[in-house]
Amino acid sequence: MKKKILIITVIAALAAVYGLMSFLGIGRQFIIEDEDMIAAEIDLNNVFSPNDSKEVFNVKVTEMTEYFNANGINTAIIRYNDGKTAIDEAGGFTNCFAELSWQQYGKILSALKNPLEKAGVQIILDIDCTELTEEEISLTIGEINREYKFAGVMLSGCGYSNESLQNIKMSISRRMHRYHFGLHTDDIENAKLLQSYGAMDFFVFDGITDTQYKELKNGDFASAKILLSHKSQSFAEDLFILSNFFDIDGLILTEYTDPNTDLGFYRSLMDTSAGLKRFNMSVDSTFAVSWPSKDISTYYDGIYVAGVANPYEPVYINGQAAVQGRDGSFGLYVTLAEGDNLIEVQQADSYAAYTVTRMVYESTGITRPMEYDDTVRAYRGQVVQTINPLTSILSDPDRDEAVMDGVVQGVQLVVEKSVKTVRNGKYTWAYQLSNGGYVLADKVEWVEDNDYTAAHIAEISLEQADEENEYLVFNVTGKPAVISTFKDGQVIFTFINTTISDSYIVEEDSFAVTDIEGCFTTEIYVKQDRKNTVLVLENNTENELWGYNTEYCDDDTVKIYLKKAPRKQQGAKPLEGISVMLDAGHGGTDPGALAMGGIAGPHEKDINLALTLATQQCLEKLGATVYLTRSDDSFLTLEERRSMVTELKPDLFIAQHHNSLEYTVDVNKSSGVESYYFTPQSEIMAELMADKISSATDRNNRGSGFGRFYVLRQDIAPAVLNEYGFIINPQEYAALYRDEDIYKAAFATAMAVLDIIPE
């Protein structure tokens, strides 16, 4: 009898101890302390079905745990309720999701807990606080603690005051042992106030910049975990920067719905094993005025005064506080009166002064007739030949920007008539061609009759260029100019002053070449348009034409290279198989824009190169093949850069620059990102670049626009020239060469590339 009593007493004691442990929360799996918290959200309604059998349920749980382990997910955040729905008399929550036939919602949570925690995955319940009172929340957390002993809870949609949240925290802390308490919010300022009282163990923000993250972790958030949510609009960019430049506490990586969802892309962004290049560029903040650096004279009515000084002391220019960057660079626009103007610059005991004399134009009253340059008028039928590597064919002889297309050196053109125009303050001649375009006389040389062969296409054929791409081959006499237009799903090639063999003609005005169909074209339409041969390629929707290039060969053939549209891949390397050429602007003896007028700091060529090397790393991390026009401080001509494009035939071309302005305007009013394009197929890419880069860097989006830049004048691939910010603006300049800012711009560029490549 005594033995039975003893056994019952021991059992009762064990039960009491277990009950006390359960109440205190002893034995639960706590919030992960020693590693990043990598989480996935789970809405059980999106994973389980009321028709699931127990066997199906177990299979889904196994798939979930295997998926979490394969992707390094160590935390499951389970959505527990929907606002005030399904509150029972105890203040907790019942089954507010679809009820399964074989067990209740609460039992599902219990059934999930054991396999997840065995797999090393902790569970946090996400409580929707919409319409719930402080008392209901406190009671609910108590219910969860007694029933499940999960690692913790996270409050979402919470509109409580800081005092109420502190009361909830204190209430559960009195009853529970190390129960971790989190908040999902977008109000960073309120979170800072709340955390000054130490009310929360972790926070989830949908969007947080590196600057905000650093500020929080250096303050009251040192002991609280900060998590980034996949719901952030710039999740990839933020994840890349926070992972590589800060010791990020964790993130909600995805919402789990499918065990086949590929997280390789995001996981690769967190891989810092290779390490990023560090550029460590800086400015010597010794007091110096870089512009003006001596007494000068000007006809302008104002001057922008620039220099560098101690960043922690104000700089005054003629008694007015200058705009300063965080590196000490400064600038201020000063209006000038006629005559001598004293410009005084002072910071503490440092002082500099210069005299700027504003001069005024005075008319002599004498007008002189405009002179002619050395070019001559050509008459109808005169043959000319281009002398530069790239010569513009203009639609308007009076405007250099009215470019129809460009033609290579050595092509022969027949003049229809000459028109007078003006360049550099002098009259000059422009020669009209049979297609209606014009070429400036100083861009060509005359050809004698015995050196000219009339252009004629005898045969058209198709040739495989490489595994993916093709050549359209023309057997042709002479060296005709070929110009093109790419729009509305068509590419139109015009062979100027060229005829074609009668054997192809099936109609008087137009005909279709049907015997050379390739992977890019359904049909090639050809017609003789007076003195010109015109070909129209209808783009094939299955194998989209991405770009093209006209090449002149030594064997009396002209080949048009037809480039197939690239396709991005799934997984960690979505740009695998994609080639991108990056062109770091300027270099060597060409510094580009000087650092704030020449202070001892990185010039445009230096920042361009750093940005290019950073962009190379970002693109290669995503799987791309990257070509560089320059990888060091070397000088390249514009033609050398452009020739690399036509030789290597990349899928995309990106020229990387930084903006500047003359020191005659108020540069403090100019800031932001611009992107330029020349060919129609590049316009969308320019829009994406400006949008992505401005968003990631938090700089003004100045938009995209047409730009007649030499390096953009090719058709082989979409090409843009990006201006990432203004070097002459002191506040923006200081944000252009810091490593984190360089990589923000670089990664945003890579993400724009990812967006422009079709699926």
Measure the CA–CA gap between 265 and 649, rounded to whole angstroms.
27
Express each pLDDT in 166-202 by its tens digit: 777 776 655 555 667 889 988 888 888 888 777 788 9
* pLDDT for res 220: 84
What pLDDT band is residue 290 in, cutting at 50, 70 and 90? Answer: very high
Give the model confidence (pLDDT) of 361-382 as tens digits: 887 777 788 899 999 999 999 9
The verdict on domain 288-358 having CATH code 3.40.50.720 is no
> Which pLDDT tens digit goes with each residue over 310-328?
999 999 999 999 999 999 9
- For residue 297, pLDDT over 80 is answered with yes
Quick one: average pLDDT of 229-245?
Answer: 91
Mean pLDDT of 492-500: 94
Task: Return d(Cα 605, Cα 627) in angstroms, integer.
Answer: 18
Out of 2.60.40.3470, 1.10.3720.10, 3.40.50.720, 3.40.50.1970, the CATH code matching 455-564 is: 2.60.40.3470
Mean predicted confidence (pLDDT) in 124-140: 82
In this predicted structure, what is the pLDDT of residue 542?
60
What is the phi/psi pair of residue 214, to 5°?
A: -65, -40
pLDDT value at residue 95: 40
- In the prediction, which pLDDT does 554 show? 85
Q: Is the pLDDT of residue 486 over 90?
A: no
pLDDT > 70 in the chain, percent: 87
pLDDT at 663: 92
Residue-level pLDDT at 8: 41
pLDDT for residue 682 is more than 80? yes
pLDDT at 288: 96
Contact call for residues 496 and 453 (beta carbons, < 8 A): no
Helix and strand element counts for the chain (H, E): 15, 41
Quote the mean pLDDT of the chain.
86
Output the pLDDT for position 3: 45
CB 40 within 8 A of CB 68: yes
pLDDT band with cut points at 50, 70 and 90 for residue 710: very high
- pLDDT for res 548: 93
CB 103 within 8 A of CB 111: yes
Q: What is the 3-state secondary structure (H, E, C) of 148-195?
A: CCCCEEEEECCCCCHHHHHHHHHHHHHHCCCCEEEEECCCHHHHHHHH
Question: Which band of pLDDT confidence, cut at 50, 70 and 90, is reported for residue 148?
Answer: confident
Tokens of 349: 């005991």
The DSSP secondary-structure symbol of 18 reads H
Write out pLDDT tens, residues 543-585: 688 999 999 998 899 999 999 899 999 989 999 999 999 999 9
Confidence of residue 739 (pLDDT cuts 50, 70, 90): very high
* Nearest-10 Cα torsion for 249, 254, 257, 258: -100
User: In 3-state terms, what secondary structure has residue 270?
Assistant: coil
Top-tier CATH class for 579-756: alpha beta
| pLDDT classification of 518: cutoffs 50, 70, 90 | low
Architecture of domain 2-269: Alpha-Beta Barrel (3.20)
Question: How much is the average pLDDT of 66-94?
Answer: 71
Mean pLDDT of 516-526: 64
pLDDT band at 506 (very low <50, low <70, confident <90, very high): low
User: From CA 416, how far away is CA 531, in angstroms rounded?
Assistant: 11
The band of 6, judged by pLDDT with boundaries at 50, 70 and 90, is: very low
Mean pLDDT to the nearest integer, 131-142: 79
Report the SS3 class of residue 37.
strand
DSSP 88: -
Q: How far apart are CA 211 and CA 196, in angstroms?
A: 19
User: Which amino acid, residue 324?
Assistant: Q
**HEC sequence for 379-402:** CCCCEEEECCCEEEEECCCCCCCC
pLDDT confidence of residue 640: 96
pLDDT for 9 equals 43
| Residue 481 near residue 412 (C-beta atoms within 8 A) | yes
Q: What is the dihedral of CA 708, 714, 719, 720, to 10 degrees?
A: -10
Task: Identify the pLDDT of residue 648.
Answer: 96
Nearest to 698 by CA among 212, 129, 140, 249: 212
Cα separation of 747 and 691, whole Å? 13
When pLDDT is averaged across residues 709-737 and rounded to a whole number, the result is 95
Contacts of 686 (CB under 8 A, 6+ apart): 675, 676, 677, 704, 705, 720
Q: How far apart are CA 157 and CA 138, in angstroms?
A: 16
Instruction: Tell whether domain 383-449 is in CATH 3.40.190.
Output: no
The residue-averaged pLDDT of 629-635 equals 97
Digit-coded pLDDT (tens) for 329-360: 999 999 999 999 999 999 999 999 999 999 99
d(C-alpha 163, C-alpha 168), whole Å: 9
- In this predicted structure, the answer to whether residue 301 has a pLDDT above a threshold of 50 is yes
Separation CA 330–CA 733 (nearest Å)? 10
Q: Say what the pLDDT of residue 365 is.
A: 76
Cα 553 to chain centroid distance, Å, stands at: 38
Q: Which two tokens stand for residue 90?
A: 């105890």
Percent of the chain with pLDDT over 90: 61
Sorted by where each begins, the domain ranges of the chain are: 2-269, 288-358, 383-449, 455-564, 579-756
For 297, 394, 574, 628, the CA distances from 625, given in Å and listed in that order, are 51, 36, 12, 10
> What pLDDT score does 536 carry?
86
CB 41 within 8 Å of CB 162: no
Query: What pLDDT, on a 0 to 100 scale, did the predictor assign at position 98?
Result: 42
Would you state the pLDDT for residue 273?
73
599-616: per-residue pLDDT in tens?
Answer: 889 999 999 999 999 999
Closest by CA to 252, choosing from 271, 235, 240, is 235
pLDDT for 468 equals 85
Residue 512: per-residue pLDDT: 55
Q: Is the pTM of this model over 0.85?
A: yes
Distance CA 637, CA 389 (A): 12
| DSSP SS3 for 627 | strand
C-alpha to C-alpha distance for 37 and 35, rounded to whole angstroms: 6
Mean per-residue pLDDT, 262-287:
90
Give me the pLDDT at residue 12, please. 41
Per-residue pLDDT, 540: 64
pLDDT score for 312? 95
CA 480: distance to chain centroid?
40
Sheet holding 329-335, edge to edge: 288-291, 302-308, 329-335, 323-324
Please give the pLDDT value at position 541. Answer: 57
Residue 729, judged by CB atoms within 10 A of its CB (0-12, 13-18, 19+), counts as: buried
Q: Where are the beta strands (DSSP E) in 230-274?
A: 250-256
Q: What is the pLDDT of residue 112?
A: 85
Higher model confidence: residue 322 or residue 209? 322
Tokens representing 452 are 């000219």
Q: Are 720 and 654 within 8 A, CB to CB?
A: yes
pLDDT at 423: 95
Residue 504 has pLDDT above 90, yes or no: no
The tens digit of pLDDT for each residue in 380-410 reads 999 999 999 999 999 999 999 999 999 999 9
Task: Please state which of the ranges 3-17, 416-430, 519-533, 681-695 shows the lowest mean pLDDT.
Answer: 3-17
Under 8 Å between Cβ of 74 and 35: yes
- 2-269 and 579-756: same fold? no
Q: How far apart are CA 659 and CA 50, in angstroms?
A: 60
| Averaged pLDDT, 499-514 | 63
Query: If you average pLDDT over residues 114-122, what whole number do you get?
Result: 91
Q: What is the pLDDT of residue 135?
A: 80
